[in-house]
Structure 1
């Protein structure tokens, strides 16, 4: 019985942790907000949480697990990807200039 009382709170909390945090770089933001320091690029399909960066490639001031890449006419941080399945619908996993990495970029 004691084990059941200890297990119950874990069963309630674990699904919440699995959902992850929304509003991070690359997340949709058409109907909501982005995390602190990020802005919603509303001209992108379903919105795109991101921040401006300074140099295409690995540098440029982007958070971990993101790369600075050209999106339309702007340099923005985008999530790193290994394959197309890592990106949202309407975004493609493309190579980023100045690096061997790939990032999710809006499809024209």
Structure 2
């Protein structure tokens, strides 16, 4: 749940690759659920990609073009995972009571 006036960083970018935010305290609303589902897909994709990369790196005869393609895919997945981590970090911080 976001705190009042707290924006949720969404797991996709807007025009010109700018971040998109959601302003709501309804964690069960359509956009919140959509964002949760997209985050789950992004994290699952990153986990699957990590397995493929690990197997490919263990192959001494791996094709350099394939390694480059995997490097690009890993870069995209890492960007997605970092965006999810930032978003969830803000959500966690918003849920914690403020200590004085």
TM range (shorter): under 0.3
Normalized per residue, the structure richer in helix is: 2
Which has the bigger relative contact order, CA under 8 A and spacing at least 6? 2
Query: TM-score, with normalisation over the residues of structure 1?
Result: 0.23
Q: Structure 1 or 2: larger strand share? A: 1
TM-score normalised by length of structure 2: 0.24
